[in-house]
């Protein structure tokens, strides 16, 4: 019992018999039973429409499962109170499939959002954000607004926003969908670096080339279930 508790705590994410359905439709995810240990790196693969985005949405608390139990950082999210959720979400960095950048904010302000929400000082914002933008190759676009950026540039802004707060868990939904393979590899190395610093990482992708070039375990989604790769 005590050992099981320790194990749950060491798992950043744990799914117990989780299922998802939209409205009255069929369950698009079924009997999900897996754990992501702290410090692990996983690819989440499967054909388009397999439910990769839906699975990630469950983890970043955008959606409740229709069945089962999800533990996030050891906290059972099905019993957590609503006011506890923002603090949990702040420990998760998300690169959304459609980026979800705020068009009225500059690159700098978009990337600074997680810091400001967490109550960081403007001094810290000025210190950390330009550095990171430099790192992802956007130093020249600090004051640009998303509509003026290319797809690949937007993607890098989205990634910078996801990692600026040094999250314990990083979720990336098709983060390399809009960039060529060389840039994709650079982004993967960025995730790799973060993972080495202790961040647990999940990258959803259907880019087989990318997955095969990196030696990380996979979660394969097929017909609503996870088949270990």
Partner 1 sequence: MIGGRSDLPLSDDSTGAYLPWLVAPMVFLSAVALAGVFILNTLIGSWDRDVAGTLTVEIAAAPGEAAESAERTRGRVEQAIGILENTPGIARARALSQEQLVTLLAPWLGSSDLLKELPLPALLDVTLEGNGGVNLVELAAKLAKSVPGASLDDHRVWLNRLIYLSRAIEWLAIAVVVLIGAVTSATVYFATGTAMAVHREVIEVLHLIGAADGYIAGQFASRAVFLGFKGGLIGLCLTLPVIFGIAVGTDRLEGGFLSDLSLPLGGWIAVLTLPLIAALLAGLTARAAVYRTLAKML
List 19, 38, 85, 142, residue binding partner 1 (CB under 8 A): 85
Smaller CB distance to Mg ion: residue 63 or 97?
A: 97
Question: How far is it, in rounded angstroms, from Cα 29 to Cα 51?
Answer: 7
Subset of residues 15 to 44 that bind partner 1, contact rule: CB under 8 A: none
* Shortest CB 171 distance to ligand ADP, Å: 12
**Interacting residues with ligand ADP between 22 and 61 (CB under 6 A):** 22, 28, 46, 48-54
Two tokens at 202?
């999940």
Long-range contacts from 74-79, C-beta under 8 angstroms, 24+ separation: 74/8, 74/9, 74/11
Helix (H) or strand (E) holding 83: none
Chain residues in the site for Mg ion (CB under 5 A): 53, 97
Residue pair 88/13 in contact (Cβ under 8 Å)? The answer is no
Partner whose binding site includes residue 49, from ligand ADP, Mg ion, partner 1, none (CB under 5 to 8 Å by kind): ligand ADP
Which residue shows structure tokens 């099981």? 4
Task: Write the CA distances from 55 to 3, 61, 146, 189, integer angstroms.
Answer: 27, 10, 27, 24
Query: Considering the complex, what minimum distance in angstroms separates the CB of residue 1 from ligand ADP?
Result: 35
In angstroms, what CA-CA distances link 179 with 14, 35, 84, 87, 207?
31, 30, 36, 32, 11
Q: Which 8-state DSSP code applies to residue 137?
A: T
48 binds, among ligand ADP, Mg ion, partner 1, none (CB under 5 to 8 A by kind): ligand ADP
Q: How far apart are CA 206 and CA 204, in angstroms?
A: 7
> Judged by CB under 8 A, does residue 7 bind partner 1?
no
User: Of 165, 168, 161, nearest to 75 (Cα)?
Assistant: 168
- Candidates 45-53, 59-67, 182-190, 191-199 — which segment interacts with partner 1 by CB under 8 A? 59-67
CB of residue 100 to partner 1, shortest distance in Å: 5
In the complex with ligand ADP, the residue whose CB is nearer, 50 or 72, is 50
Burial environment of residue 29 by CB neighbours within 10 A (0 to 12, 13 to 18, 19 or more): buried
Q: Under the criterion CB under 8 A, does residue 6 sit at the interface with partner 1? A: no
Contact call for residue 117 and partner 1 (CB under 8 A):
yes
Q: Which does 35 bind (CB under 5 to 8 A by kind): Mg ion, partner 1, ligand ADP, none?
A: none
Q: Interface residues with ligand ADP (CB under 6 A)?
A: 22, 28, 46, 48-54
Q: Interface residues with partner 1 (CB under 8 A)?
A: 60-64, 83, 85-90, 92, 94, 100, 102-105, 109, 113-114, 116-118, 161
């Amino acid at each position: 019992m005590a050992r099981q508790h320790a194990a749950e705590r060491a798992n950043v994410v744990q799914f117990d018999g989780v299922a998802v359905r939209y409205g009255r439709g069929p369950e698009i995810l079924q009997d999900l039973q897996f754990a992501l240990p702290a410090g692990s790196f996983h690819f989440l693969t499967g054909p388009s429409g397999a439910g990769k985005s839906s699975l990630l949405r469950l983890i970043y608390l955008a959606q409740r499962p229709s069945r089962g139990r999800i533990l996030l950082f050891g906290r059972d999210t099905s019993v957590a109170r609503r006011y506890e959720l923002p603090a949990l979400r702040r420990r998760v960095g998300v690169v959304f499939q459609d980026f979800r950048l705020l068009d009225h904010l500059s690159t700098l302000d978009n990337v600074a959002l997680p810091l400001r929400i967490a109550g960081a000082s403007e001094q810290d914002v000025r210190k950390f954000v330009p550095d990171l933008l430099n790192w992802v190759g956007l130093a020249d676009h600090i004051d640009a607004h998303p509509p003026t950026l290319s797809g690949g540039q937007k993607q890098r802004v989205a990634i910078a926003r996801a990692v600026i707060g040094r999250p314990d868990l990083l979720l990336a939904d098709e983060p390399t969908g809009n960039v060529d393979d060389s840039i994709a590899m650079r982004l993967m190395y960025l995730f790799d670096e973060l993972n080495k610093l202790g961040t647990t990482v999940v990258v959803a992708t259907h880019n087989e080339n990318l997955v095969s070039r990196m030696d990380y375990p996979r979660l394969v989604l097929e017909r609503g279930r996870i088949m270990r790769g």
